[in-house]
Amino acid sequence: MSENASVQPAEHELAKGYEFKEVEARWYRKWLEQKNFQATMDEGKPSFSIVIPPPNVTGVLHVGHALNNTMQDVLVRYKRMCGYNTLWVPGTDHAGIATQNVVERQLANEGKTRHDFGREKFIERVWQWREEKGGTIINQLKHLGCSCDWDRERFTMDEGLSKAVRTVFVRLYKEGLIYKGDYIVNWCPRCHTALSDDEVEHEDKAGKLYHIRYPYADGSGHVVVATTRPETMLGDTAVAVHPDDERYKHLKEIGIKLPLTDRTIPVVYDHHVQREFGTGALKVTPAHDRNDYEIGLRHNLERIKTMDDSGIMNQAAGPYAGLDRFACRKQIVADLEEQGFLEKIEDYEHAVGQCYRCKTVVEPATSLQWFVSVRPLADKAVAAVRDGRINIHPKTWYNTFYAWMDNIRDWCISRQIWWGHQIPAWTCDDCGQLMVEEHAPAACDKCGSSKLTQETDVLDTWFSSALWPFSTLGWPENTKELKFFYPTSVLITSFDILFFWVARMMMMGIHIMEEVPFKDVYLHALVRDKHGKKMSKSTGNVIDPLVVMDEYGTDALRFTLTAFAAQGREIKLAEERIEGYRHFINKIWNASRFALMHINTCDPAISKDIDPSTLPLAHRWILHRLNQAITEVRQALDDYRFNDAASSIYQFVWSEFCDWYLEWIKSDLYGDNAIAKAQSQAVLLAVLENTLKLLHPITPFVTEEIWHVLPGERTSIMVEPFPAPNPAWDDDEAAELAALFMGIVGGIRNIRSEAMIHPSAEIEVQIVCHDERKHAGLTSLASSLKTLTRTSTMAVQKEGTRPKGAASYLYSDIEIFVPLAGLVDVDKEQAKLKKDQDKTEAELARCQGKLSNEKFMANAPEEVKAKEREKVGEMQAKLEKIKAGMERLAELR
C-alpha cells in the first residue's frame, strides 16, 4: 500500500453545518437534468419495476403518502444500485367523485352548477382545473426525493389509459363478465351516484331500535318487528318469518296490515330469518335493503322505491312525500306513537355506512347499474396467491384476503357522475338495441338506425386503476416496456386498500394479461400519532410531511419513516422522533467532515484492494462489522424489512463507526507513524464510501452531497454499485477481541464516572486477566487502551489483587482496578457520599413504610405496589454502592 499518494484537493469542502434546503434543491435539479431516474432496458440485466399507487389528482402529500413513497424509493434506489433495469412509474388518478366535488364547489362559489354548463363544457372545466391544480402532489413527491421516471408520468384519463379501459370493458362484456341490471346498490344521496361495497365506510354510531306493531289483517293480533330505519317501512312489501316457526303458520292466509297505510302485505316464509332474534319476524323492504332484496327475489315481491336520488321521500311515500329521509323518520315515529303502533324505542349502537368521499350516510336502493361478475376473476386471483405466484407481506394478511375473496359480491362499476370514463355503450333510440364497442358505432347493428344514445354513466375510478400495472406500460399495444417490466416486481400500498385496489389489480391482470400484475405485495401500516390515535386536523395531531421536511430536512423524515416501518398495522409517529433522526443526519455530516480532514488529498485508489490480514485490530474489526452491516441491510431490503435495514445502518454508523472507530484511529491519523496513518486513511475512505452507499437509498441528499466531496472524480452515488459482502473482511477473531477491548474501555470509563474523577485527569490502571488468550490480546492492545481512557500506566497481569484505595470493575472474568490516591478530595467526597446516604436512607424508609402499611397494601393497585417494591430494591443497591465508596475512601486516609 502506498504511504500517502496524493491528488489535487476536492473542489470544495463540506460546510460546518448541513444546510439541507439548498442541498436538496440543487441535487434534485441535477438528478433531473442528468436523467438519473430514467428507466433502462438493457438486455441481459434483471429488471425491477414498481407502479406508484396513483394519488388522487385532488390530493396533497400527507404522512401516509410520505411513508408509502419513501419505501418505494428506498427499493428503487437500492435495485438501481444493484444493477437492475429499474422503472418506477409515476402518475395520478382522476378520482371521479372527489374531483367532480372539488370543481362543483368551485362553481357553487360562482353561483352556478354543472347543469348550467352541460356535460361537455363541465368536463372542459375539470380538465382546466387539472392543468392548473392537479400537479400539486407530484411536485410534493419530488420534494420527498422520489426517483420516479417522470418522463413516463401517467394519468388515468390519458388517451392511452382510456383506450385500455375501453378495450377491457368491451372484452369483459363480450365474455359475459360485465352486465347491466336492476340491483340493490349503495347510493350516496349527496354525490348522486352508486358506490361499490368497498367505497362505503362503516362506523359504529349510537342510534335507536324501533319496535313497531304490525297488526294481523283480520284484527286478531299483531306481530312486533324491529328496525333502525322506520322511514323505509313505507316500502315494505312483506313480513318474513322462518318456515319452521309455529307461531306464525296461521298468518299465511291472513296477511299483515302495514301501519300508517291502507295496504295489506303478505307473510312469507324464508330460511334467512332467525327465529331466536327478537320476535322472529322481519319487515321486508326489497327496494331499500340488500338482504330484503334477496328475499324479494325468492318470493317474487314487489319493489317499492320510496326515496328519490337525494334521499327525499317520493310520491310512493304518500303523505310523507317531500320530506328528507331523516325528517320523515321523526314524523313516522311520532305518528306510530300517536296511533298506538309503537311498542318501544331502545338505544342501539350499530354500524352505519357512509360515503368514503363526502361522509354522507348511504342509502341501500335499487337502481339500474353496470356490474362485473367477479367470481371467475376472484378465483384466479386466489389461486395465484395460494400457489405463490403472488406473495403478500406481512403474512398475517393472507387469511383476511382469502376470507374477503371467498365472500366477494359482484362489483358495481357504474357511477352517475360526469367526470370519468364514459361507459362505451350505445342504445338505439328506435329499437332499443344495446351495443358495447370501443368506438361509437355509426348505426344500430340490429335495425340500421343512426339514432344512437351513449350511456351517460361513467366507470368507477377503481376500474381504470385496476388496469394500472399494464395500462401504464402501454397496453393494449405490445410495447418494449411490457416485455421488460411486466409483471411488475412489487406493489407497496397501505393495507386499507387491499380490496379497493390490490385485489382488483390481481383479478384484471391475471385475466387480461394471463400473468400476475406483481410478484409481491407489501402492505404497510397506517401512521398514527405517538399515542396511537388517528391523525386529523380537528384533533390537531397531524404531522405534515411538508412542514417537517422544511424544518428538519427530507433525509431526516425519510430515515424516521423507514426506521418505524415495522410490519404491522400501526406506526406511532412523533415529531420529536424526526428531530432525533435529524441529529443522526448531522452525525453523518460531522463524521464525514472529520474524515475529509485526513483523506481529502488522498489518491482514491487507496480504498481498493485492502488486505485486512496486514492491518491492526481497529481496521480489521470495522471492516468485519461493515461486512455484517452490508449483509444485514441487503437481506432486510430483499425481505421488505425496512425498519431492520434502518436499524442496522443506524447501529453501525452511530455506535461503531462514529463512537468507536473514529476515536480508535485518531492517534494514527494525527501521529507521526506514516504506515499507520496510510492504513487508517485507506480503511477510513473505504468504510466511508461503503457507508454512504448503504445509506443512500434512505437518505439520498446528504449522501450525494458528501460523495462528491470525497477525493477523485465522481459520478452520482445513485449509479454506484450497492455494497456487497467481501469474504476477505469476515473476521470473527477480530470481532471477539474488539468486544473485549470495548468492554475494558467501558469498565475504565465507568470507574471514572462513579468515582467522579475529572475527565482530564490521567489515571493508572491495573488489569488482572487469568485467561491466557485474553491476556495476550489485551497486552497487544495496551497502547490503544491507554489512548482511549487517558491512562498513564496500563498494567495487564495474569494474577493480582485490588490495591488499597482502588476502585474496581468486573468485566466478565477480568478485574479492573484504578487506584484513587491523589485523584479525589477524600473529605469532600466523603461529605458528598454521606449526604447521598442520608437522602437514600430517608427515601428507603419512606418506601418501606408504605409497604408495611396495611391500608396502602389493601387499597393500592398492584402496579403501584410493584413500583414501590422496585424503588426499595434500587435504594438498597444504591446504599451498597455508597458503602463500598466510603470504604474505599477510608483506605485513602
pLDDT digits (tens, 9 = 90+) for 26-46: 999 999 999 999 999 999 899
User: What residues are paired with 491 via a beta bridge?
Assistant: 521
The contacts of residue 142 (CB under 8 Å, 6+ apart) are 28, 150
Angle between helices 617-638 and 662-670 (to 10 degrees): 140
pLDDT at 409: 85
The one-letter amino acid code at 368 reads: L
List the beta bridge partners of residue 527.
571
* Distance (Å, whole) CA 266 – CA 305: 18
Residue 537 is labelled as binding a ligand: yes
Q: What's the CATH code, domain 735-824?
A: 3.30.2320
Region 439-466: what's the mean pLDDT? 95
Helix pair angle (782-789, 772-780), 10° resolution: 60
On whether the CB atoms of residues 530 and 574 are closer than 8 A, the answer is yes
Residue 5 has pLDDT above 50, yes or no: no
Backbone angles phi, psi at 352, to 5 degrees: -110, 130
Q: Identity (one letter) of the amino acid at 370? A: W
Q: What is the pLDDT of residue 497?
A: 82
The stretch 812-835 carries a mean pLDDT of 80
pLDDT, position 657: 97
The helix (run of H) or strand (run of E) holding residue 543 is: none
Q: Please determine, for residue 3, whether its predicted confidence score (pLDDT) is greater than 60.
A: no
pLDDT recorded at residue 822? 75
- Please give the CATH superfamily to which domain 575-716 belongs: Isoleucyl-tRNA Synthetase; Domain 1 (1.10.730.10)
Q: Which residues pair with 179 in a beta bridge?
A: 371
Collapse the DSSP code of 214 into the 3-class scheme (helix H, G, I; strand E, B; otherwise coil) and give the result.
strand
- Whole-number pLDDT of residue 536: 67
Side chain identity at 269, as an amino acid letter? Y
CATH topology of domain 827-891: Helix Hairpins (1.10.287)
Q: What is the pLDDT of residue 542?
A: 76
Closest CA to 641 of 376, 323, 393, 372: 393
- 598: confidence class by pLDDT, cuts 50, 70, 90: very high
Neighbours of 598 (CB within 10 A): 18
Mean pLDDT, residues 384-403:
94
Residue type, 784: S
Q: Which of 237-246, 419-428, 791-800 comes out lowest in average pLDDT?
A: 791-800
* Model confidence pLDDT, tens digit, residues 682-694: 999 999 999 999 9
Q: Work out the number of other CB atoms within 10 angstroms of the CB of residue 683.
A: 24
Question: If you average pLDDT over residues 297-304, what whole number do you get?
Answer: 92
Mean pLDDT of 756-767: 85
Rounded to whole angstroms, the Cα distance separating 126 from 620 reads 64
Residue showing cell 395460494: 386
My answer on whether omega of the bond before 723 falls inside 30° of 0, hence cis, is: no
pLDDT at 628: 97
Q: What is the pLDDT of residue 6?
A: 34
DSSP state of 144: T
Helix ranges (H only) for 118-270 are 119-133, 136-143, 159-174
The predicted model gives 449-453 an average pLDDT of: 96
Q: For the chain, what percent of residues have pLDDT higher than 90?
A: 62
Spatial distance between the Cα atoms of 309 and 369, rounded to a whole number of angstroms: 14
Angle at 508 between CA 503 and CA 511, to 5 degrees: 120
In this predicted structure, the answer to whether residue 111 has a pLDDT above a threshold of 50 is yes
Task: Quote the strand ranges of 189-269, DSSP E.
Answer: 193-195, 200-215, 222-227, 238-241, 256-257, 264-265, 267-269
On the question of pLDDT at 496 being above 90, the answer is no
Instruction: Reply yes or no: is the peptide bond before residue 727 cis, omega within 30 of 0.
Output: no
Cα–Cα distance, 225 to 320 (Å, whole number) = 21
- Answer whether 67's CB lies under 8 Å from 565's CB: yes
The answer, yes or no, to whether residue 844 has pLDDT greater than 80, is yes
Among 158-167, 355-364, 545-554, 588-597, the range scoring the smallest mean pLDDT is: 355-364
Q: How confident is the model at residue 11 (pLDDT cuts 50, 70, 90)?
A: very low
What does the pLDDT average to over 528-537? 75
Domain extent listing, the chain: 193-364, 575-716, 735-824, 827-891
Contact 267, 248 (CB under 8 A): yes
Nearest to 836 by CA among 754, 719, 718, 760: 754
Q: Sorting pLDDT into bands at 50, 70 and 90, what band is 7? A: very low
Structure-block grid coordinates of residue 480: 418494449
| Confidence at residue 752, expressed as pLDDT on a 0 to 100 scale | 86
CATH of domain 193-364: 3.90.740.10
Residue 565 in contact with residue 642, Cβ under 8 Å? yes
Reference 747, options 792, 789, 802; nearest CA is 789
Looking at per-residue pLDDT, the higher value among 808 and 249 belongs to 249
Check residue 893 and give its pLDDT.
64
Cα-only R_g, the chain: 37
Residue 682 has which C-alpha cell? 485507506
pLDDT at residue 827 is higher than 80: no
**pLDDT averaged over the chain?**
91
The model's confidence at residue 376, banded by pLDDT at 50, 70 and 90, is very high
Phi, psi angle pair for 800, to nearest 5°: 165, 165
Residue type, 822: G
Output the pLDDT for position 538.
64
**pLDDT value, residue 10:** 40
Residue 467 CA: distances (Å) to CA of 155, 393, 461? 12, 22, 11
Decide if pLDDT at 4 tops 70: no
Q: What is the mean pLDDT of residues 191-219?
A: 87
- Copy the grid coordinates of residue 40: 433502462
Q: Are 87 and 79 in contact (CB under 8 A)?
A: no
Arithmetic mean of pLDDT, 228-238 = 95
CA pseudo-torsion sign 314, 316, 319, 325: negative
**Residue 9's pLDDT is what?**
37
Joined together, the cell numbers standing for residue 448 give 340500421
